Amino acid sequence: MNAGMAKRAHLVERALEAMGTSPLPSPAALGSAPVVSVGTAGHRHVPEAAERPAQAPPAAALQRLPVIPMARLQEAGLAFAVDAPGRSKLMEELAVVQHQLLRGIEPALGEARAAPRHRLIMVTSARREEGKSFTSLNLAASIASTASQPVLLIDVDGGASSLSACLGVLTEPGLLGLAADPDRPRETLLRPTAIERLSFLPHGRLLESAARTPNPSALAAAIRSLAAALPRHVLILDTPPALSTSDAQALASIVGQVIMVVRAESTQREEIEAALDLVEACPVLQLLLNRTRLATNDSFGAHGEYGAAKHA
């Protein structure tokens, strides 16, 4: 077994050991391939070559499109109040994940000669119903609101229960239109949200003039173009499950980090290994455990909740 395979085996073993009973690991214990629990939430309602950055669309241009309201974000799965006092358990858990991700991103932010892939984060899973869209939305909102970093959340999935569907913009222009027409002004596609510094690119409908649906390579080119045009943005991609389509595999080669969401006590080891094999082109692979059962004495995040109650 070579070094890469040994590291992969260790990653899967850590996930399996943590399923169901693992408390959230401390930040000091997180290595290059951490396993992080994000609690029990996750239900949603359905309504490397360096590139020369292009000029980012002005903030005023983004306001031409309607703002996605907070109510819609909450219906889609936003699980914490951005302006609430104190810090909830979920916010503490997101902070651990966020810190790990930003360590690999911050040196590249705003650097004209830095490869865009360093600011691209792909969130996927082995199969559906693992919580990847919930994770994508809450992580993007957390980075935008607490790290004061502009974030573009991109829906690469586009399914019936995708973020675009939940946010009510499934039929609006988006990623598919940009992939089919790379010259289309980006400011006509990016949707501002009620969360400052967070914008959203819907999956989008296929343009009538398009001969066929853009292939994964065209989607990758469109995303790379966006990253180059927005040199200070973190781009989070909510992709289809790795074992369902080829999109995650195709995009793994252009992103700097992959978060593989694993549903505790549900996802099988063989599925995790197969999904990781498909995205191994990405240099940084991380597992994130979702919907774990917490022990009664688990107190991670309790200090923040205590502070919130105290100031209520």
Residue 297 confidence (pLDDT): 52
Q: What is the pLDDT of residues 27-56, one digit of tens each?
A: 333 334 455 555 544 445 444 444 444 554
Note whether residue 47 is domain-resident.
Answer: no
Residues in the chain: 312
CA atoms of 258 and 208, how far apart (whole Å): 33
pLDDT at 133 exceeding the cut of 90: yes
What CATH number did the domain enclosing 199 receive?
3.40.50.300
Q: Is residue 63 scored above 60 in pLDDT?
A: no
Total domains in the fold of the chain: 1
* pLDDT bracket for residue 114 (50, 70, 90): low
Q: pTM, whole model, 2 decimals?
A: 0.78
Domain that holds residue 106: 36-42+71-79+86-295
Q: What confidence tens digit (pLDDT) does each residue in 221-251 have?
A: 999 999 999 999 999 999 999 999 999 999 9
89 in Cβ contact with 309 (< 8 Å): no
Tokens of 115: 């490869």
Say which range, 6-20, 97-111, 282-296, has the weakest mean pLDDT.
6-20
> Residue 206 — pLDDT band, cuts 50, 70, 90?
confident
SS3 187: helix
Tell me the one-letter amino acid at 303: H
Return the pLDDT at 134: 95
Does residue 29 sit within a domain? no
Are the C-beta atoms of 87 and 301 separated by less than 8 Å?
yes
Going across the sheet that includes 234-238, the strands are 35-37, 285-290, 257-263, 120-125, 234-238, 151-155, 198-201, 191-192
CA distances for 71 relative to 10, 79, 191, angstroms: 41, 11, 15
**107 within 8 A of 241, measured Cβ to Cβ:** no
49 versus 114: the higher-pLDDT residue is 114
Is 308 a domain residue? Answer: no
Does residue 17 lie within any of the structural domains? no
Q: Higher confidence at residue 47 or residue 12?
A: 12
The β-bridge partners of 235 are 120, 152
Domain annotation covers residue 196:
yes
Residue 61: inside a domain:
no
